[in-house]
Structures are given as structure tokens and as C-alpha cells.
């Protein structure tokens, strides 16, 4: 597998749960973003990776402000990207907005419903997402 970084912002813990599940399956690095969109210390340089997976909670049918900031700040330093969103009602155009902010088409994308995350029912979706990452990287 390629060198991968999973970047996320999580206010309620749902996006963190998915990030940790993905990172665990890939045995890769994990980076949390703070409320300003800055990587928490120690910050990892996304250009040092082959793939960056970016996760956001849906906020008003859009990626959250911290992830918007992270994508804008690192747009030119992002290698291949994969995107995911966690949501309660509907993810709408969140992934499309993230793609525009990243400036590139993702190799994989997915959505995870908050209720399913809280009930521990995302294992199959995480497996499918990780498999899509592996296929895109081979």
C-alpha cells in the first residue's frame, strides 16, 4: 500500500471514529485538524504522502469550515486524495465542494451516516472504502 495520511476534523467524534477505522485498516498516519483548519501538532506535511484521505462532518450541506481551511491551505501540496463525509440528514454537495477545494478528483469517496456510526454499523462501509483505496493505489 502507498504511504497514506488520514486527515479529519471531528466535533462530535463521528468523523474521528471513521478516521481511526480507516487508519487502522491501512496502518497509516492520522492527523487531526483544529477549529482553525490547522493540523494539530505535530503537523504532518501532506506532500510527504502518496495519498491523503480527508474526512469532514457535513455542516449546512458543505464541508466544515476547518476542513475547508485545511484543503485551501494545502491545495498545492496534496498528492492523490480520497474524501469522506459524516452526516445526520443528507450529505448533499459536500464531497463535490471538497473536490473543488482540493483541486483534484478523488480516487475514492464515501459517506457515513451518524446514526450508523454511533451504532457501530459502519464496518462494511469502511471495508468497502478501504478496498476502493487499495484498488486505486495498485
Residue pLDDT, tens place only, 34-60: 988 888 888 999 999 999 999 999 998
Q: Which residues of 99-108 are buried (b: 16+ CB within 10 A; e: fewer)?
A: bebbeeebbb
Mean pLDDT calculated for residue range 49-73: 96
Is the confidence at residue 138, as pLDDT, over 90? no
Q: pTM (2 decimals)? A: 0.95
Q: Where are the beta strands (DSSP E) in 2-122?
A: 4-8, 29-32, 51-57, 80-87, 109-113
Q: Where are the domains of the chain?
A: 4-137
What cell was used for 123? Answer: 464496518
Average pLDDT of the residues of the chain: 95
The residue among 73, 41, 55 whose CA lies nearest residue 5 is 55
CATH among 3.40.50.620, 3.10.20.30, 3.40.50.360, 3.40.225.10 for 4-137: 3.40.50.360
Amino acid at each position: 500500500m502507498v504511504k497514506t495520511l488520514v486527515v479529519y476534523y471531528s466535533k462530535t467524534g463521528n468523523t474521528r471514529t471513521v478516521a481511526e477505522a480507516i487508519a487502522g485498516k491501512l496502518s497509516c498516519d492520522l492527523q487531526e485538524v483544529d477549529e482553525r483548519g490547522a493540523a494539530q501538532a505535530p503537523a504532518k506535511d501532506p506532500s510527504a504522502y502518496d495519498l491523503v484521505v480527508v474526512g469532514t462532518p457535513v455542516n449546512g450541506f458543505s464541508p466544515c469550515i476547518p476542513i475547508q481551511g485545511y484543503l485551501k491551505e494545502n491545495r498545492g501540496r496534496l498528492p492523490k486524495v480520497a474524501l469522506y463525509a459524516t452526516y445526520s440528514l443528507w450529505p448533499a454537495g459536500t464531497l463535490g465542494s471538497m473536490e473543488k477545494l482540493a483541486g483534484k478528483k478523488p480516487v475514492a469517496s464515501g459517506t457515513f451516516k451518524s446514526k450508523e456510526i454511533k451504532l457501530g454499523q459502519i464496518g462494511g462501509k469502511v471495508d468497502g472504502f478501504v478496498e476502493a483505496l487499495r484498488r486505486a493505489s495498485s
